[in-house]
């Protein structure tokens, strides 16, 4: 018993919407949304009720081991049951697809898109799990584990057992940032380097070179979706939710296209030496520290919270209907 990953997979499915926080008085949403994209791939989202970052995590299952990309923004298992969820997903999958012996030998690799706190906080829940490697956070540790000989230029592979992923170093947002491409599903996982939101560029030269390598990787491949780790844009083109928002009823879709990836690449080159915020329909590029824009975000969040207070919402809808 095993899965033949060489047979082209049927299209996976993304849900019509993700958990996105709740208004006060509404029923609570799950702490962690679990979505089977296809029979061998899980997308998880952490609740905005626990962390406004609400990051996405990815679990890709192969015949010998699984890869978990990122561990979320919260360490406390009571508020973020990551270990329990991953254990039960792996159990469910191995029971369905593998022999008892293969299931008993099954391993887990925990790696990270990058080492910012909202992507690694759940690590302690998985450290010490039997058959599990938790990859470290530094360039050195990432290089050693994946075997990069010429970081960040040479791509690497990770074989999960019949399911081989491309692993690409894409520094620029973070020094040890990685992207993963899964040929079976056509999913390109881009972490915080490309997602529908504020793309914080710490090293513009490296970021532009990383985007070039990402785009080059996609050439000649059937990429279905570019998937990052957050959603900060709303459905209104060019409009983001303020930093810190805990309720996003009209958020943009998670998935981005190759065309949008090319737009990020073009923007990265165009604004390589122009610090500041550069706004596009499906993402904003924040080049450099952008301190004033950060302060403005804090102001926007206060205004946003006031606007959504129940009493002000009622007043706004009454004035809109002329009551």
Least distance in angstroms from the C-beta of 195 to Zn ion: 8
Least distance in angstroms from the C-beta of 223 to Zn ion: 22
Residue owning tokens 């000989």 = 149
Instruction: Give whichever of 123 and 192 is closer to Zn ion, judged by the CB atom.
Output: 192
Least distance in angstroms from the C-beta of 115 to Zn ion: 10
* CA atoms of 212 and 216, how far apart (whole Å): 6
* CA atoms of 140 and 182, how far apart (whole Å): 24
Least distance in angstroms from the C-beta of 55 to Zn ion: 6
Least distance in angstroms from the C-beta of 176 to Zn ion: 14
Residue owning tokens 């990270």 = 112
Instruction: Give whichever of 115 and 168 is closer to Zn ion, judged by the CB atom.
Output: 115
- Cβ atoms of 120 and 112 closer than 8 Å: yes
Instruction: Give whichever of 61 and 170 is closer to Zn ion, judged by the CB atom.
Output: 170
Instruction: Give whichever of 94 and 245 is closer to Zn ion, judged by the CB atom.
Output: 245
* CA atoms of 15 and 306, how far apart (whole Å): 30
Contacting positions for Zn ion (CB under 5 A): 118, 192
Instruction: Give whichever of 5 and 56 is closer to Zn ion, judged by the CB atom.
Output: 56
Instruction: Give whichever of 52 and 181 is closer to Zn ion, judged by the CB atom.
Output: 52
Residue ranges of alpha helices (H) inside 65-203 are 82-97, 100-104, 117-120, 123-126, 139-146
Cβ contacts of 205 within 8 Å, gap of 6 or more: 272
Q: Is the peptide bond before 152 cis (omega within 30 degrees of 0)?
A: yes
3-state helix, strand, coil in the chain (%, to 5): 30, 25, 50
Least distance in angstroms from the C-beta of 18 to Zn ion: 15
Q: How many other C-beta atoms can be found within 10 angstroms of the C-beta atom of residue 292?
A: 10
**Strand 56-61, strand 41-46: pairing:** antiparallel
């Amino acid at each position: 018993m095993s899965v033949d990953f060489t047979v082209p997979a049927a299209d996976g499915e993304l849900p019509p919407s993700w958990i996105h926080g709740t208004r006060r008085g509404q029923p609570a949403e799950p702490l962690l949304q679990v979505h089977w994209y296809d029979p061998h791939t899980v997308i998880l989202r952490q609740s905005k009720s626990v962390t406004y970052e609400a990051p996405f995590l990815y679990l890709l299952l192969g015949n010998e081991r699984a890869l978990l990309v990122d561990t979320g923004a919260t360490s406390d298992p009571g508020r973020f049951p990551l270990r329990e969820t991953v254990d039960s997903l792996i159990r469910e999958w191995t029971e369905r697809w593998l022999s008892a012996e293969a299931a008993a030998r099954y391993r887990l690799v925990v790696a990270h898109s990058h080492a910012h706190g909202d992507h690694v906080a759940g690590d302690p829940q998985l450290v010490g799990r039997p058959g599990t490697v938790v990859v470290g956070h530094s360039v050195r540790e990432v290089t050693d584990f994946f075997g990069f000989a010429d970081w960040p230029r040479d791509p690497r592979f990770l074989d999960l057992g019949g399911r081989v992923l491309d692993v690409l170093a894409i520094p620029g947002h973070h020094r040890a940032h990685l992207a993963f491409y899964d040929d079976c599903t056509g999913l390109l996982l881009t972490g915080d380097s490309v997602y529908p939101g504020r793309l914080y560029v710490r090293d513009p030269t490296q970021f532009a070179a990383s985007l070039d390598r990402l785009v080059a990787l996609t050439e000649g491949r059937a990429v279905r979706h570019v998937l990052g780790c957050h959603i900060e844009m709303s459905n209104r083109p060019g409009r983001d939710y303020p930093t810190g928002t805990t309720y996003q009823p009209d958020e943009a879709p998670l998935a981005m296209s190759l065309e949008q990836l090319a737009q990020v690449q073009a923007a990265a080159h165009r604004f390589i030496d122009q610090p500041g915020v550069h706004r596009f329909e499906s993402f904003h590029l924040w080049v450099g520290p952008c301190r004033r824009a950060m302060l403005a975000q804090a102001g926007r969040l206060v205004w946003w919270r006031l606007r959504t207070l129940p009493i002000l919402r009622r007043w706004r809808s009454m004035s809109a209907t002329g009551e």
